[in-house]
Amino acid sequence: MNGPRRKQRRGHSLIELLVVISVGSALLAVSVGLLHTLLQMQQGGRKHLQQRRTLERLADQFREDVHAATQVRATAAGPGQAEGPGWELPRDPEHTVEYRLQEDNLVRTERQKDKVLRRESFALPQGATVSMETPKMGIAETAPGLVTLRIVPLLPSERQPAGQPRAPGTASPGRTIRVDAALATDHRFLQAKGR
pLDDT for res 169: 44
Rounded CA-CA distance 187/195 in Å is 9
- Stretch 146-172: mean pLDDT: 63
Query: Are 109 and 103 contacting, i.e. CB atoms less than 8 angstroms apart?
Result: no
Higher per-residue pLDDT: 126 or 157: 126
Where does the pLDDT of residue 119 fall: very low under 50, low under 70, confident under 90, or very high at 90 and above? very high
Task: Kindly tell me if the per-residue pLDDT of 168 is higher than 50.
Answer: no
Percent of the chain with pLDDT over 90: 34
pLDDT for res 75: 83
Indicate the average pLDDT of the chain.
Answer: 79
- Stretch 44-66: mean pLDDT: 92
Where does the pLDDT of residue 114 fall: very low under 50, low under 70, confident under 90, or very high at 90 and above? confident
Among 70, 96, 102, residue whose Cα is nearest residue 84: 102
